[in-house]
Structures are given as structure tokens and as C-alpha cells.
């Protein structure tokens, strides 16, 4: 029997797509290899959103060269955003790679099966479900629209069927993923939207929780906020990337909103759902970012107090508007210092927010075991560790929080186990 190994880096979409390839391979009788060196097929699912990720991909490809030499029958597949529209250049650079697939593509020799073996990507009980591919926004720093193409939604029927099938095999939580989930459906004939999709998925009996990411501040609709508020399985948690707290930088980024619009949106969300958890993405050191402009970003973090912040240093991506029109003129040492400032500030904020949960009893969906303790997540997507001897994986339980930190909670199982 042949075996495969998938190496994945990057966003949740990549993780979901790796799982799809894995599903296909298993459907054709392949098994997962214990390590990259044992595999007959190696799949590299790549990311080039930042230089840091791209360097890791290049490194991985270099490391595979001697492996291919030692095992000429090894089949190497490269997919993800490293693969551009014209793969000829890549073929020259990496002649030992057998297949080059654009994000989400499958090789011809791996046709779909009538009865795919369903699997899930996030944990044993939680799955990422792609609902819309690509992006039409062209933020000036971002390579994604060039590598993933324009927006293309999957039909509601297809998504609902997939989630129903996953729920049948024990998946309790789904996270709907797309570069901009707020655009879901505009390209389909019946023009459904994310609010409609959430309402439909909420009816799937075996499913306990629904999440979605990533939202775009310029596109989030009142209908979506209302659906989040009303549908009981939709978790009140959202990733809403602000990227910068300065209007001039936001304009240069081509984000399509001003910081006042962003504040208004956060207010609307918190008014509708006071318990909502909000996370964001930040880029520091965008071309021309002054000390004052960076402080505007810090002020937004202090005032809006996010549950988590994903911060990155700007890296120019060849082919983007920013890379060809703006000089990458913030010194690396300054970028690093700004990144550290954001991380330190956010750690303090997250510590304070999380400490407010001390002593509270929260609903936790149990993902599995970790170092002898159960690990799960709250509806606000915070990780909780707790002890217990019963088999709890996939169960929704109540946990009383006994210790909090900036990244996770410790707790003890509360007497009543909710088995819904
Ligand atoms: N669609 C999402 C994000 C996609 S990329 C959105 O609209 O925000 C994920 C994150 O990578 C972005 O939020 C951004 O913070 C970061 N990123 C994208 N391009 C980058 C670049 N050139 N340099 C640094 N960070 C970048
Ligand atoms: Fe990139 Fe902007 Fe599209 Fe997000 S919305 S994927 S940052 S172009």
C-alpha cells in the first residue's frame, strides 16, 4: 500500500485544502506515512503571504531534493500560494517536483470518488469548511488575489451536505473559511449570503457550534450581525482585521474604510452582543509608517481591547501594488521593535480580559487529550485545560475556570455535563 505525507503552512484555507487532498488519497487507498522520509508521495502545501512563510517553503523544497535523489520513485507535489499562474519558472527551479497545483487543485491522477472518506482538519471534533475561494479586494500589500484568483463561492447545497455528512461522523463544530466570508454568495445565481448559510447550518441537529473567518470591516452587514445574535449555534466570536489604526496608512493599503468606520462597527457588534470576542490582524512597518502613525495603531489596541491580535511585520510581495509603488523604508530594527511593542501591549490586554473569567463556569467543547489533561475551547474560542477520567472528546461540558493567563485557561469540570 502506498503512503503519503502532507506538510502544510499558512492559513486555515490551506489546512482545509490539505485535508481535502488527504481525503482523496485515502479514498484511493493511500495511507498516511508516519514521517516525510517514509512517504511515497510528499505534498508541500505552501504559503507566500509573508517572506517568513515563503522562506520556510523554499527551505522545505531544498530539503526534499536529496530525498528524491535517494528515492527516485518518490512523488513530490507542490501546491498552495507558492504556485503562480505560470508554473514554468517553478518547473525550471525545482525540476525534482512532479506536480505543481494551484491552491485547491487536485492532480489528474487523483479523480474524485463517489463516496469520499470524510475527515476533518482542525481537531477530531472540529472542521474547517471552505465556502468562498479567492479575493476581489486587492489590498496593496497582499499577494492572495494574485495566487488564489477572484472570488468564487461554493453553493449552499454543497456546503450544507458536506457539513451534514461531517456531523454524521462526529464533527461537532465547523469553521467556515474564506479570505472574505462577507462576500459569500454574491457570485451565485440565487445570491445567498452568509447570514442565510448560517441560518441553514444552525438547523443541523448533531452540530454544536458554527464559526466563520475572515470578515472584512468594509463588508460586514447588519444582516450578518443579526444572524450571529439570533442563531444559537453561531459562536459570538469574530476575526475582524483592522491592519492599521491610521487613516493615511489604511488608504495606502486600499482597505476601503477609515478608522472611525471600524470603531462604529465594533460598537455595533458589542451593542448587539456584549459577550462577543473580537480578534484582529495588524501589519507594522508598512511603507512610510511614521512613529506617530504606529502610535495610532497602539491607541486602537488600547481603546478597543481585542481578545487576540495577530501581528506581522510588513514584507513586500513581488507583484503587489505596494511592492512596486512604495519603498519598503521602515528599518528592519524598527519593524521588529514595533512588533514587540504590539505583542507586549496585547499580552497585557489579553491577560486582563481573560482574568475577568476567573471563577466563571463556561461551556467547553472538548477537542481531545493533551499531556494527560482534557483540552477544549469556550464559545469565545479560548483554550481550556482540565482534568477528568470520563471519555469527553466531542462532548460539550461545563468547566469552572480556576486559573487564567493571556493565552489559555485552567479549570475543573463542573458537575453538570451537557451532552447536547
Ligand atoms: N483576508 C484577510 C487576510 C488574509 S492574509 C484580511 O482581509 O485581512 C492574512 C494576514 O496576513 C493579513 O491579515 C495581514 O495582516 C497579513 N499580511 C498579508 N500580506 C502581508 C504582507 N505583505 N506583509 C505582512 N503581513 C501581511
Ligand atoms: Fe488580501 Fe485584502 Fe483580500 Fe484579505 S481582503 S486576502 S488582505 S487582498
* Residue-wise pLDDT tens digits, 204-243: 999 999 999 999 999 999 999 999 999 999 999 999 999 9
Residue 417, pLDDT above cutoff 70? no
Quick one: cell of 104?
Answer: 485547491
Query: Does any ligand 2 atom lie closer than 6 A to the CB of residue 179?
Result: yes
Q: Is 404 helix (H, G, I), strand (E, B) or coil?
A: strand
* C-alpha of residue 80 to centroid of ligand 1, in Å: 16
Q: How confident is the model at residue 420 (pLDDT cuts 50, 70, 90)?
A: very low
Query: Does any ligand 2 atom lie closer than 6 A to the CB of residue 138?
Result: yes
Query: Does any ligand 2 atom lie closer than 6 A to the CB of residue 49?
Result: no
Q: At what angle do helices 156-168 and 194-201 cross, to 10 degrees?
A: 30
Nearest CA to ligand 2 atom 2: 139
Residue 418, pLDDT above cutoff 70? no
- pLDDT of res. 416: 65
pLDDT tens for 104-130 read 999 999 998 877 777 666 778 999 999
* C-alpha of residue 333 to centroid of ligand 1, in Å: 21
pLDDT tens for 152-204 read 999 999 999 999 999 999 999 999 999 999 999 999 999 999 999 999 999 99
C-alpha neighbours within 13 Å on the C-beta side of residue 393: 12
Residue 178 · residue 13 · CB < 8 Å: yes
Distance CA 41, CA 19 (A): 15
* C-alpha of residue 216 to centroid of ligand 1, in Å: 12
Residue 9 · residue 59 · CB < 8 Å: no
The 10 Å Cβ neighbour count of residue 366 is: 25
- pLDDT of res. 65: 96
- pLDDT of res. 123: 78
Best of 149, 150, 179 to mutate for ligand 2, by most ligand atoms within 8 A of CB? 179
197 burial type by CB count under 10 A (0-12 exposed, 13-18 middle, 19+ buried): buried
Strands (E), 48-192: 75-80, 99-100, 126-130, 132-133, 152-153, 173-177
Q: Is 46 helix (H, G, I), strand (E, B) or coil?
A: strand
Residue 305 · residue 365 · CB < 8 Å: no
Q: Supply φ then ψ for residue 11, to 5 degrees.
A: -75, 175
* C-alpha of residue 214 to centroid of ligand 2, in Å: 9
Amino acid at each position: 500500500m502506498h503512503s503519503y505525507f502532507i506538510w502544510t503552512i499558512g492559513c486555515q484555507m490551506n489546512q482545509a485544502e490539505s485535508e481535502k487532498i488527504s481525503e482523496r488519497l485515502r479514498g484511493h487507498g493511500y495511507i498516511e506515512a508516519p514521517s516525510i522520509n517514509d512517504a511515497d508521495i510528499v505534498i508541500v502545501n505552501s504559503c507566500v503571504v509573508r517572506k517568513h512563510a515563503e522562506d520556510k517553503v523554499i527551505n522545505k523544497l531544498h530539503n526534499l531534493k536529496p530525498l528524491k535523489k535517494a528515492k527516485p520513485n518518490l512523488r513530490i507535489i507542490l501546491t498552495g500560494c507558492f504556485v503562480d499562474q505560470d508554473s514554468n519558472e517553478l518547473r525550471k527551479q525545482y525540476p525534482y517536483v512532479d506536480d505543481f497545483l494551484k491552491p485547491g487543485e487536485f492532480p489528474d491522477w487523483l479523480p474524485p470518488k463517489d463516496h469520499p472518506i470524510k475527515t476533518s482538519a482542525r481537531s477530531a471534533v472540529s472542521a474547517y469548511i471552505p465556502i468562498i475561494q479567492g479575493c476581489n479586494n486587492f489590498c496593496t500589500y497582499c499577494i492572495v488575489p494574485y495566487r488564489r484568483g477572484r472570488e468564487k463561492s461554493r453553493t449552499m447545497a454543497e456546503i450544507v451536505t458536506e457539513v451534514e455528512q461531517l456531523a454524521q461522523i462526529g464533527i461537532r463544530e465547523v469553521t467556515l473559511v474564506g479570505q472574505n466570508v462577507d462576500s459569500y454568495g454574491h457570485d451565485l445565481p440565487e445570491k445567498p449570503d452568509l447570514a442565510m448559510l448560517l441560518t441553514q447550518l444552525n438547523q443541523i441537529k448533531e452540530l454544536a457550534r458554527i464559526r466563520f473567518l475572515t470578515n472584512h470591516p468594509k463588508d460586514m452587514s447588519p444582516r450578518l450581525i443579526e444572524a450571529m445574535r439570533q442563531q444559537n449555534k453561531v459562536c459570538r466570536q469574530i476575526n475582524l482585521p483592522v491592519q492599521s489604526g491610521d487613516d493615511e496608512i489604511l488608504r495606502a493599503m486600499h482597505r476601503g474604510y477609515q478608522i472611525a468606520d471600524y470603531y462604529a462597527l465594533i460598537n455595533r457588534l458589542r451593542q448587539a452582543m456584549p459577550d462577543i470576542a473580537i480578534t484582529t490582524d495588524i501589519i507594522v512597518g508598512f511603507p512610510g509608517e511614521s512613529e506617530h502613525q504606529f502610535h495610532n495603531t497602539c491607541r486602537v489596541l488600547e481603546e478597543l481591547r481585542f481578545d487576540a491580535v495577530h501581528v506581522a511585520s510588513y514584507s513586500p510581495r513581488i507583484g503587489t501594488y505596494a511592492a512596486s509603488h512604495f519603498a519598503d523604508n521602515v528599518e528592519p530594527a524598527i519593524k521588529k521593535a514595533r512588533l514587540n511593542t504590539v505583542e507586549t501591549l496585547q499580552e497585557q490586554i489579553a491577560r486582563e480580559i481573560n482574568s475577568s473569567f476567573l471563577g466563571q463556569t463556561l461551556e467547553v467543547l472538548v477537542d481531545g487529550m493533551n499531556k494527560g489533561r482534557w483540552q477544549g475551547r469556550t464559545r469565545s474560542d479560548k483554550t481550556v485545560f482540565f482534568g477528568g477520567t470520563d471519555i469527553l472528546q466531542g462532548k460539550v461540558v461545563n468547566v469552572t475556570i480556576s486559573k487564567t493567563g493571556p493565552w489559555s485557561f485552567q479549570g475543573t469540570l463542573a458537575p453538570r455535563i451537557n451532552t447536547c
